């Protein structure tokens, strides 16, 4: 996302590759480069990366025109001055998450309850672990 009135917004739509090299990417966390030694990295497309873990601060910085950021579609309160950057290969990032437990050990009671709650809310998206 980018601020609606960001001076580089039009240029980002016309020439995203060059424009992104001038913009900071504001993100909560990026893993160490050494952990992903091969392949193209999104962080390499930007002029700099600012790691800001506090969501409200990150959104305020983007709204103030300090850079761009990925904002999850699950976030209920996105500031109205932010607009999506459409048309880039990574404008939308599909994500998949999972819960892992040891194969020969039963899942904790808390873990079992957590997965049950998730399954109630998202029945088609949640696959419950198989019994051993």
pLDDT, one tens digit per residue, over 47-91 is: 898 989 888 899 999 999 999 988 877 777 788 888 888 777 666
pLDDT for the residue numbered 45 = 81
- Per-residue model confidence as pLDDT tens digits over 115-127: 888 888 877 766 6
Helix (H) or strand (E) holding 50: strand 48-51
Distance in angstroms between the alpha carbons of the first and the last residue of the chain: 44
Looking from the CA of 82 toward its CB, the CA atoms found within 13 Å total 23
**pLDDT score of 101 more than 90:** no
Mean of the pLDDT values across residues 91-101?
A: 69
**pTM to 2 decimal places:** 0.65
Place of tokens 């999972």: 98
Say how far apart CA 25 and CA 44 lie, in whole Å: 10
């Amino acid at each position: 996302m980018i601020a609606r009135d960001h001076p580089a917004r039009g240029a980002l739509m016309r020439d995203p590759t060059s424009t992104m090299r001038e913009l900071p990417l504001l993100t909560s966390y990026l893993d160490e480069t050494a952990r992903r030694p091969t392949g193209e990295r999104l962080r390499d497309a930007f002029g700099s990366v600012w790691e800001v873990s506090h969501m409200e601060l990150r959104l305020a910085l983007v709204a103030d025109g300090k850079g761009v950021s990925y904002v999850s579609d699950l976030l209920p309160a996105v500031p109205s001055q932010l607009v999506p950057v459409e048309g880039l290969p990574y404008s939308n990032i599909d994500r998949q998450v999972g819960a892992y437990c040891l194969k020969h050990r039963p899942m904790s009671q808390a873990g079992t309850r957590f997965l049950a709650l998730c399954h109630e809310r998202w029945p088609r998206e949640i696959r419950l672990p198989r019994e051993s």
